[in-house]
Structure 1
Amino acid sequence: MTADKNRPAWEGHYPATARDLAPPEPRALTALLDDAAYSFPNRPCLTLEDWTLSYGEVALLASRLGAGLAQMGVMSGDRIGYMGPPHPAFTLGCFAMWHIGAVYVGLNPLYSVDRLAGQCIDSGLKAIITLDEPRLLAKAHQIRELTGQPVTFLVGSFKKDPREVIDPNQPFGPSNVWAISDLLAADASVERATFDPVTQPAVLQFTGGTTGTPKAAVLTHFNLLTNAAQMVSWYPQLEPGREVMLSAAPVTHAGGIGPVQNFTVQLAGELVSLPRFDPMKTLDLIEERKITILLMAPTMATALLEAARERPIDWSGVKCVQCGAGPVPAELKARFLQATGHWITTLYGMSETAPAVVYSPSDRALAEYTGVPLPFTEVEIRKVDDPHQRAAVGEVGEICLRGPQVMKGYWRNQDATSEGFIDGFFRSGDLGSMSKDGLVTVSDRLKDMIIAGGYNIYPADVESAILGHPAVREAAVIGVPDEYRGETAKAIVSLRGGEQLDLDELREFLSGRLSPMEIPTILSIVDEIPRNENMKISRLDLRELERLAPR
């Protein structure tokens, strides 16, 4: 590999489309939809079950919905939430908000009512977009009761074309609730808001739910527009107007806005929504809808492999498979390749970075690394005990990031913003290292590191080794108190059907793969490992279960 001495070493691992990417001009996110509707007006844009909206239709409906929001008193800078699963109403809502300069706030419907009410109060929500599914409507009303604020609801149909008439007041009665279908039928218009896309917030993305008090990252139009261009540049095989993305991961997570929605709209691709992830249904859609792009959490990829053993499909139409929202072990990549013929691209990022910062190269010999920084992105590894100092090549430290996709700060939280940056770089809170040619390895969360007898153990490394055992389906590792070491590693494992495993067998398997200090001294076999609302394995829940366990 050779690289221009005036350019970062990691650019030697770029595809040509990423290496040649020009910095995007500052524009509002509505430009993504404008461009796609102009070039591909009749191309499918949003699909749910048996109905589809074209790009021309979505551009018109988003404009009408924006006009309806304006008539309700929503102004530029006001915050509006979406609470629901992957669904066309999500994309219509986002572009309607951005049309009038309003700000999107993701409300994960799997969160508790108390947590969602706190997010609504913190962000000062003016309205919530949701669907006429009974549990969603009930939760929306509970949230409004808890906040004590006159939040307006905009309700769309869960199953029907959004233009079809519904009665959103059933079974609750009239209570400041509007049907999205009524706003779309009004055929109103409103002038598009004008603002500086470099500074205008587009999204408040709440973060920190697994590591501390949630806070909202402020992402601007330019943050998200740039990140869409960065991500698309990684895949030279993708063609505008020809791709189909399956939207099955939670859209209220940062991945729903960027790697799913904006990525697809930049390509004028079709977004096929699957409101509830089901491995078998996913396999059906890959064939029926000719899916070309998959984006999954590692747990979803594992479930898909299990389902594919029972229901083989033709994978030849898929062009790229991406995994984010957690570590992607090399063992999982190898199994996925063997079963499907597709190599997984690893995505690393976070809510504060819109979210993508590091992608894995296509070279399979580099599978042990997480990836390299995306175009226009700088990554430095800083010493844990002195974050003003850079770590040596290969030394584990805190991953710090700088680039046009990095947030400007946290919403109304200057203290958290100040703590989150150092020397102009965002502090990720993740541990990792960098090779001499810029390959990044993400080790673990700083807060998840186990210190056993003075030795640093990174749970992700241990989990990756455990996943190599043929009996293991999923694995998580946490630190638990130990009288001699201070802490020791405990493995929590779920097994493949019909398999068995005990601690002695696991320790023997890991001997030679891990150092003696890294090998777990405790093993717990479970049916399912707890996950959080974003489908990530939740070490927070595992540690809480450990704390409450009888001694």
Structure 2
Amino acid sequence: MIVVSPMRSHSLPIGDIPTQVFRSAEPYRDEVVLIDAESERQFTIDDIITTSTKLAAGLTLQGHGGRVISVFDNTQLQSVYVYYAALMAGGAYQSLDTDVSEGDLQNQISFTQTPAIFTSHAHLSKLLGVIKGLDISVYVFDHPRSPNSEDTLACAAGGIHSSSSSSSNGSIAGCACDDGAESGCCAPVADLLIDDPTFVPVRITSKNDAMRKPAYLAYLPDVYGSAASATHTQRPLTISHYSLLSSQRLSRPPGLLDAHRTAISAVPFSGAHGINVIAHFPMLSGSRVIQLNKSNPSKCLSAIEKWKAGILLANYPVLASIDAAAKRVGDRIAVGSDSFDANSLSVIFIHELRVPQAFKERIAALFQARLVELYSYIETGLIAGVITEHPRIDGSVGVLCPSVKARVVMNGSEVDEGEYGEIHVSTPRLEFSEENKFFCTGDYGKITADGVVIIKARMKDLIHTKSNLIVAPTDIEKTVLANTSIVDCAAFGIPADGDPGGGDGGLQLPFVYVVPATDNGRLDMNSILEPLAKLYPGICGSFIDHIPKCDKGEPRRLLLREIATKKVGSQ
């Protein structure tokens, strides 16, 4: 059964991103849409349009038009200029994550053959080491010799020559590029910002061209092998102009700017979600985004209080750090000896799914705000999350977004309404052929006739038992965590005969690791497993000091499975 979103569809834009976004924002050019939380520098729509246009003219003049232009900085708001300039110059934008290894960074740069990279002084040394010997121009946002380093992009190494600011050897004395740059020169970005009235941005006028033309380069992590010897690789993915715009609504709600249209962003914009936060969301929605450069608990709470924000855009690591450090004291939130008024906050958006339920409940209680999981993939755009049902269904991530269709499939066939299986979706961002319009999410769940999406687990984490049951680990975990003497647990399947090679036809026994409360030395594993045995025959378990988790808060089930399998096999 195919379920269509109950939300009213909106017309999809056709064309290039700068034209569509700037045209929508034109009447509001004086509005402030971006604010740097640390420096309090404000970006108006007029500033973004004007500076991006000048930068696009400069990139074109330097021969970088039609190429992939990169940024190597996760928090620099001036990246928004580079994003729009790259597209206006007929090229694409690539965000290079500062947290990746030098090898992965080198692969990303080589894959796109980017001719120009923008970065900040803090990341310059790593970048120069990776691109040594390559013909790549490097532009530094905060160059010390910039005429106005706080307001402009600042430095160019290896690509632009300055006749007025350069020393006799072609470099600027004291430039951060001097350490490690073997050739080329540094120059103020004023040489790159060209006020050229004859410059005409590259336009896209047809849907087919908008679907084919890359706008954004992203990288998805792939992991192969066992937990002990996993191989981490990165899979490149290009997103077109049409794909990015298809997830946006080109309209502004009426009314003045208030808490409901003021967002604190603690999300690094090294991914497609992040660039949407600073480049699309505020300009198209009439909102303002205050971007945090450092998202420690005190800075995040201080920003919410100062700007009276109604929205927090966060990820699991940010919320986990707040959860560990903060507590509710009356109508304020305390971190150490400091306390903050966060009562303006009403919604917290988080991109990660399958965050432990107990964690979500703690965060919602701490902020006394609604926590909304945004269900999306880079390939699909937003699937569900912003509009949620009432009353809330356990495990729900909200209602299918406008123009989204979905189905649930198990063993190659669509299942009936109310049954669980793998969720497949079709969204405007997908550019598949007529024969294959659905994206396989790898998520195990169901969809109601009203379009409410319920997620239980990843398909790869399901436990296939010898009694022909398919068990979601969260079902076991919820039952175990109902015991107040237990603080954490993780369920998974181990080979039915204890054989690490796969067991009896790949069938499994349910296994649960349990973390008891520190003051509960009398807890007995048999008493925990006994009520579970009727529902999950053959279930076994063991105590553990802590549950290892990934950076999204999910238990590292593959690692735990390997440990448990060896433990059972040795008995």
TM-score (norm: length of structure 2): 0.76
Contact 2:57 2:193 in 1 (8 A): no
Kindly provide the CA deviation profile for residues 49-81 of structure 1, in whole angstroms up to 9, marking residues without a partner as x: 1222222212212222222222232222x2222
Contact 2:17 2:241 in 1 (8 A): yes
Structure 1 position 363 matched with structure 2 position 352: no
Corresponding position of 1:142: 129
The CA deviation at 1:304 is 2.4
Corresponding position of 1:38: 27
Corresponding position of 1:29: 17
Contact 1:462 1:519 in 2 (8 A): no
Instruction: Tell me the SS of whatever aligns to 1:300.
Output: helix
Kindly provide the CA deviation profile for residues 17-62 of structure 1, in whole angstroms up to 9, marking residues without a partner as x: xx44522331322132453353142424242412222222122122
Corresponding position of 2:217: 204
The CA deviation at 1:538 is 7.2
Structure 1 position 284 matched with structure 2 position 302: yes
Root mean square deviation, CA, Å: 4.0
Structure 1 position 74 matched with structure 2 position 64: yes
The CA deviation at 1:443 is 2.5
Residue 426 of structure 1: which of 439, 461, 481 is its match?
Answer: 439
1:237 and 1:98, CA in 2 relative to 1: closer, same or farther beyond 3 A? same
Q: 1-side partners of 2:285 and 2:554: how far apart?
A: 31
Corresponding position of 1:539: 556
Instruction: Tell me the SS of whatever aligns to 2:36.
Output: strand
Contact 1:64 1:183 in 2 (8 A): no
Contact 1:473 1:495 in 2 (8 A): yes
Kindly provide the CA deviation profile for residues 154-179 of structure 1, in whole angstroms up to 9, marking residues without a partner as x: 22129962427563414323545766
Contact 2:513 2:543 in 1 (8 A): yes
Corresponding position of 2:177: 169
Q: 2-side partners of 1:42 and 1:442: how far apart?
A: 39
Kindly provide the CA deviation profile for residues 119-151 of structure 1, in whole angstroms up to 9, marking residues without a partner as x: 222333333222110xx2232123324xx6423
Contact 1:292 1:319 in 2 (8 A): yes
Corresponding position of 1:457: 471
Corresponding position of 1:52: 42
Structure 1 position 525 matched with structure 2 position 545: yes
Q: 2-side partners of 1:343 and 1:80: how far apart?
A: 38
Kindly provide the CA deviation profile for residues 306-353 of structure 1, in whole angstroms up to 9, marking residues without a partner as x: 433033532332242212222245544433333222111221111111
List runs of 5+ in structure 2 lacking aligned partners: 156-174, 225-231, 328-333
Contact 1:144 1:151 in 2 (8 A): yes
Contact 1:47 1:273 in 2 (8 A): yes
1:480 and 1:129, CA in 2 relative to 1: closer, same or farther beyond 3 A? farther
Q: 1-side partners of 2:534 and 2:267: how far apart?
A: 33
Contact 2:514 2:541 in 1 (8 A): no
The CA deviation at 1:444 is 2.4
The CA deviation at 1:546 is 4.6
Q: 2-side partners of 1:363 and 1:86: how far apart?
A: 36
Residue 403 of structure 2: which of 376, 387, 408 is its match?
Answer: 376
Q: 1-side partners of 2:28 and 2:536: how far apart?
A: 59
Q: Structure 2: which amino acid aligns with 1:483? A: D
Corresponding position of 2:361: 334
Q: 2-side partners of 1:390 and 1:49: how far apart?
A: 51
Q: Structure 2: which amino acid aligns with 1:25? A: P
Instruction: Tell me the SS of whatever aligns to 2:323.
Output: helix
Corresponding position of 2:249: 229
Contact 1:264 1:270 in 2 (8 A): yes
The CA deviation at 1:375 is 0.2
Query: Which deviates the most, 279-288 or 435-444?
Result: 435-444
Number of residue pairs matched by the alignment: 513
Corresponding position of 1:415: none
1:463 and 1:272, CA in 2 relative to 1: closer, same or farther beyond 3 A? farther
Corresponding position of 2:107: 118
Structure 1 position 322 matched with structure 2 position 378: no
The CA deviation at 1:237 is 9.7
The CA deviation at 1:404 is 0.9
Instruction: Tell me the SS of whatever aligns to 2:217.
Output: strand
Contact 1:261 1:271 in 2 (8 A): no
Instruction: Tell me the SS of whatever aligns to 1:192.
Output: coil
Contact 1:86 1:247 in 2 (8 A): no
The CA deviation at 1:501 is 8.0
Contact 2:243 2:429 in 1 (8 A): yes
1:371 and 1:200, CA in 2 relative to 1: closer, same or farther beyond 3 A? same
Contact 2:405 2:426 in 1 (8 A): yes
Instruction: Tell me the SS of whatever aligns to 1:365.
Output: coil
Contact 1:401 1:426 in 2 (8 A): yes
1:507 and 1:151, CA in 2 relative to 1: closer, same or farther beyond 3 A? farther
Kindly provide the CA deviation profile for residues 163-199 of structure 1, in whole angstroms up to 9, marking residues without a partner as x: 2756341432354576674456554563211124343
Kindly provide the CA deviation profile for residues 270-299 of structure 1, in whole angstroms up to 9, marking residues without a partner as x: 222222331221111111233232122244
Corresponding position of 2:202: 193
Kindly provide the CA deviation profile for residues 67-116 of structure 1, in whole angstroms up to 9, marking residues without a partner as x: 2222232222x222222222203322211212222212232211111122
Q: Which has the larger radius of gyration?
A: 2
Contact 1:450 1:456 in 2 (8 A): yes
Structure 1 position 257 matched with structure 2 position 272: no
1:61 and 1:238, CA in 2 relative to 1: closer, same or farther beyond 3 A? same
Corresponding position of 1:483: 497
Q: 2-side partners of 1:544 and 1:178: how far apart?
A: 53
Kindly provide the CA deviation profile for residues 203-262 of structure 1, in whole angstroms up to 9, marking residues without a partner as x: 1222243577532232221221121229x99x9999699723222223122321335642
Instruction: Tell me the SS of whatever aligns to 1:193.
Output: coil
Structure 1 position 347 matched with structure 2 position 384: no
1:440 and 1:299, CA in 2 relative to 1: closer, same or farther beyond 3 A? same
List runs of 5+ in structure 1 lacking aligned partners: 1-6, 12-18, 410-417
Corresponding position of 2:427: 403
Corresponding position of 1:15: none
Contact 1:457 1:518 in 2 (8 A): no
Q: 2-side partners of 1:38 and 1:472: how far apart?
A: 57
Q: Structure 1: which amino acid aligns with 2:125? A: A
The CA deviation at 1:468 is 5.9
Contact 2:3 2:407 in 1 (8 A): no
Q: Structure 2: which amino acid aligns with 1:324? A: H
1:369 and 1:326, CA in 2 relative to 1: closer, same or farther beyond 3 A? closer
Contact 2:3 2:449 in 1 (8 A): no
Kindly provide the CA deviation profile for residues 469-528 of structure 1, in whole angstroms up to 9, marking residues without a partner as x: 6677776555455635764556578899x77789746973995699435966144333x8
The CA deviation at 1:371 is 2.2
1:247 and 1:405, CA in 2 relative to 1: closer, same or farther beyond 3 A? same
Q: 2-side partners of 1:351 and 1:36: how far apart?
A: 25
1:236 and 1:61, CA in 2 relative to 1: closer, same or farther beyond 3 A? closer
Query: Which deviates the most, 369-378 or 508-517?
Result: 508-517
Q: Structure 2: which amino acid aligns with 1:191? A: V
1:81 and 1:320, CA in 2 relative to 1: closer, same or farther beyond 3 A? same
Q: Structure 2: which amino acid aligns with 1:152? A: S
1:539 and 1:337, CA in 2 relative to 1: closer, same or farther beyond 3 A? closer
Contact 2:36 2:292 in 1 (8 A): no
Q: Structure 1: which amino acid aligns with 2:325? A: A
1:332 and 1:64, CA in 2 relative to 1: closer, same or farther beyond 3 A? same
Corresponding position of 2:162: none
Q: Structure 1: which amino acid aligns with 2:544? A: S
Instruction: Tell me the SS of whatever aligns to 1:88.
Output: coil
Kindly provide the CA deviation profile for residues 411-455 of structure 1, in whole angstroms up to 9, marking residues without a partner as x: xxxxxxx9xx96321222222222233322222222233334354
Q: Structure 2: which amino acid aligns with 1:425? A: F
TM-score (norm: length of structure 1): 0.79
Structure 1 position 275 matched with structure 2 position 296: no
Corresponding position of 2:137: 152
